[in-house]
Structure 1
Amino acid sequence: MTVISTLFLSIEAPFAAFRWLQAGVYRGTYPVLPPSAAWGLALNLAGIEARGPLDEVVTTIRPDAPHLEIAVGSLRTAQRSTLYQQLHGYPVGTSGKELQAHAHGQKYWIAPARREILVGLHCLVGIRGDDELVTRIPRGLGGMLEVERYGLPFAGDNQFMFDRIDVVGDMVARWFVPVGVGETPKESTRLTTNIDRRDGSRTQAPMFAPVPLPCMCPSEAWIDIGPTTEPSA
Structure 2
Amino acid sequence: MPHDNLIGAYPSSPKQLRSKLKKEALVQSGRELFILQGYEQTTAKEIAAHAQVSTGTFYRYFSDKRQLLMSLIEEQMDTLMPMELEWKSGDPEKVLAARLEFHFHEINKEHLQKLMPELLMKDAELAALMEEAKMKMREKFLAHLTYLDEKCLLWPDLDRDTLMWFLEALLEKLRNRVSQGMQVDYQHFAKAFCRLLFPPETVHKMRNGEIK
TM-score, normalising length from structure 2?
0.23
Q: Greater relative contact order (Cα 8 A, min sep 6): structure 1 or 2? A: 1
- Higher normalized strand content (fraction of residues): 1
**Which one has a bigger Cα radius of gyration?**
2
- Higher normalized helix content (fraction of residues): 2
